[in-house]
Amino acid sequence: MSVATNPTVASALVGADDPVRRGWLTGKVSDAAGKPVEGVTVALKGTSFGTSTTADGSFRLSAQAGAYQLVVSSIGYITQEVPVAVTGGESTPVPAFTLAVSNQNLSEVTVTGAKSLNQRAVTVGKLPVATLDLPQSAVTVEREVLEQQQVLRLSDALVNVSGLYVTSTTGGTQEELGSRGFAYGSNNTFKNGVRFNNGVMPEASSLERMEVLKGSAAILYGNVAAGGVLNLVTKKPQFEKGGSVGLRVGSFGLWKPIFDVYGGVGKSEKVAFRLNGTYENANSFRDQVESNRVYVNPSVLFELTPKTTLILEGDYLRDNRTPDFGVGAIDYNVLESRTRFLNVPGAKNATTQTSSTATLTSRLNDKWQIRAVGGFQRYDNEQRTGNRPSTIRNGVIPGSPATATRPAIPERYKESLYGNWARTLSRTETSENYYLAQLDLTGKVRTGFLEHTVLVGADADQYNTQALTFTAQPYDSINVFDRSRVLAQPTNSVSSFDALYRNTRTFTNTRRAGFYVQDLMSISEKVKLLAGVRWSYQETPSDVYTYAAPTAADQSLKVTQQNRRFDNAFSPRLGLVYQPIKTTSLFASYANSFQPNTGQDVTGVALPPSTFDQYEVGIKNDLFHGLLSANVTAYQIVNSNLAQTYLGPITDANGKTTDNLNTNIKELAGEVTSKGVEVDVQSKPMMGWTFITGYSYNHTAYTKSNIYENNSRLRYNPAHTANFSLYYNFGSSFGDNSFLRGLTAGVTSYYVGDKLAGRNTRLYDPATGKPFVDASKNPSGDAFRLISIPDYVLFDASLGYTYDRFSVRVKLANILDELSYNMHDDNSVNPIAPRNFSATASYRF
């Protein structure tokens, strides 16, 4: 059975995981004979605070200061409930519990004190209010869901959030995400509220939860894309001692041991730690592709005073894998295959990422809190790879009859050039230091009849990046369909990456700063108004140094290009929330964001940033006493001053007027519009059942352009996505002695609608100054065409079994063995994984 919980607990200014004003409850549990009982669940009703008794029957539970109901429950015993009070900075003993045996054949008792989707505060939103009060769509995915679904990569977790999808997996070394028609770059991806470089796949085993704040977040973070932001929250220190060890194995040689340990330092009630990590080694369903990684995530919590805490967090990731640009395409026709590998021998992508974060939180009084964050990240990457397979031949040998484009392989391709491809070697080395400082003041104040929840903050960050490129050189020639064929080798070919010589070294030093203020005004119990604005400043200087060729007489390194950009912008936000009842809110909002541009206008002046106007309306519901949350959002995002190539006349220094052929000369005259609908539904456990479902529709298109067709869709964005996950815990229906008591089962499905890759059809070619009458017969002979990526449905099933401290989970993924692709242009055509399995065994201590 489930212990019912009351979701209404005394409200706190900060989220449940915030250690400010934390105290402890201590006690002991024994049976009727006076013997200690181990493994008894001790939890605070209506919260996520809970623990279990140790071998001597004792427990120590950490929670925020406040009044609660303490629930003590265990299989085969009558559940007990008593009122308790937690005092900040102190340990409070509670009377000893004596468990009475139940006469009923009880199933496992589970305390479900988790908050609903709309009751949780999203830390990436900075303002300490429940999402029900925010005029913006937000979704969180908790650790329990991630573990149930055996999430290995972030792409596995997308099945829980409507409208969040993979845009591409360029080179197979990263997963590029997007929503609402816009890509999430490193500017939109955060870990514990600090930006991190998403050029490497983050480690999912360390996550406590995943937060998605949809739509504009420019007022909080400045230069972020319009679609939303993603925040990965890692596991935090705990004073209760415990941990787990596990091993995950799976298809394609996956082998992944995992550990997690936490507790107080010694007998201290002021210092706690956590350390988790993993090693991973795997092959792939792709020929010759392999990977290995090491990850460690330490953190320490200091209770400096009853009102002040300091959390130090760090992580280290070393990720080595084979760069893989997919199966290739000929003239925008995908060469269907799941296993064809086209990269050169010895290709590798090696990344090391180290980060550290210090978060100091102090409660000034019962209504005001200050939070300071300092962060540092080091990112190093070396890639040695062949060229992307986008220039594979589709013609025939000289003297053969002329042929049109061939979407299929000719029967006698061995006598033709069809499928021949000249490969080159290339090499890059990138290093980046990132620094962040952030200060936020939040609190509540009343002016007359208005109650204000206020956020005032400032931040500054800096990227120091150094990128070294080597001159690409010819390597060999192959036929992609028959690798045994011997083809004439290119002239001046090299035999190894070490033979490449340095070409350019680019230094960039991006500096940003921002000041922001937000106020959520409660006009009445039913009406709330959110208003705020941010001012952002950004400098983007860069210097490009070019190395002399090895044969040059002058071997000095010279500056060949210097760029200096200075941008600033205001980002306002306005939203209205109406709550006809406490569990339902209707909202409407407007927000503005910006995106810096490169290039200059026709007068030679640097282009100002483009701006995005975002409109959003929606309804949020907590139904059936908070057991079910159902939210619907509609939005429109318009970039009405999109930077596009200037096609008008220009006058040179001699007064001669010609058509512009310089693509660096632009005008802010284009327009892109994104509009859509999103539905998110999540449940709490109900009689053993839990489910998550959602749907999204998006149409992102050029609505004004001098190069592309109006209303032509932007690439990489699926028109529709849908998700559904259903899990059942057999422990809610079967007795204590039943074998099925520890069994769970679930299914997950994820639909990705059709999307486009390739290159948008052009009406005008700025490189030639001539219109494209027919995109397939343009003057330059270089057609621009789109590739339609087929829709697909992923269907997964899983089983889990827990006995005492041991648990086993088994998952079968892509049961239908669907085939589709993630693409970038036409040169990184990466198939999705076929049917595969994984199994995880773990022991909790």
Copy the structure tokens of residue 328. 């290739």
Q: What is the CA radius of gyration of the chain?
A: 29
In this predicted structure, what is the pLDDT of residue 407?
45
pLDDT score recorded for residue 773 = 54
How many whole angstroms separate alpha carbon 241 and alpha carbon 355?
A: 26
**698 closest CA partner among 726, 728, 678:** 678
- Intervals of the chain under pLDDT 50: 1-20, 104-113, 397-407, 409, 414, 775-781
pLDDT value of position 7:
32
Kindly state the tokens that stand for 444.
């509540």
Q: Nearest to residue 318, comparing CAs of 201, 485, 468?
A: 201
Q: What's the longest Cα–Cα distance across the chain? A: 104
Domains of the chain, earliest start first? 2-111 (2.60.40.1120), 123-234 (2.170.130.10), 244-390+428-844 (2.40.170.20)
* Single-letter residue type at 528: K
Query: What is the reported pTM?
Result: 0.85
Vertex 518: Cα angle to 516 and 521 (nearest 5)? 165
Q: Is 332 left (phi over 0), alpha (psi -120 to 50) or beta?
A: left
Give the Å distances, CA to CA, from 87 to 8, 44, 96, 236, 365.
Answer: 20, 14, 19, 21, 15
Residue 53: per-residue pLDDT = 84
Q: What is the pLDDT of residues 224-276, one digit of tens each?
A: 989 999 999 999 998 888 999 999 999 999 999 999 999 999 888 889 999 99
The per-residue pLDDT for 2 is: 34
Per-residue confidence (pLDDT) for residue 658, from 0 to 100: 81
If we measure between CA atoms, which residue out of 679, 843, 682, 623 comes closest to residue 145? 682
Task: Quote the pLDDT of residue 9.
Answer: 31
CA 491, 495, 499, 501 torsion: positive or negative? Answer: positive
Q: Is 658 exposed, middle or buried (0-12, 13-18, 19+ CB in 10 A)?
A: exposed
Question: How distant, in Å, are the alpha carbons of 312, 352, 434, 502, 591 from that of 377?
Answer: 14, 11, 5, 26, 30
Cβ(38)–Cβ(44) below 8 Å:
no
Closest of 441, 515, 531, 461 to residue 220, by C-alpha: 515
The pLDDT assigned to 48 comes to: 67
CB 489 within 8 A of CB 495: no
Whether 48 and 15 have beta carbons less than 8 Å apart is answered as no
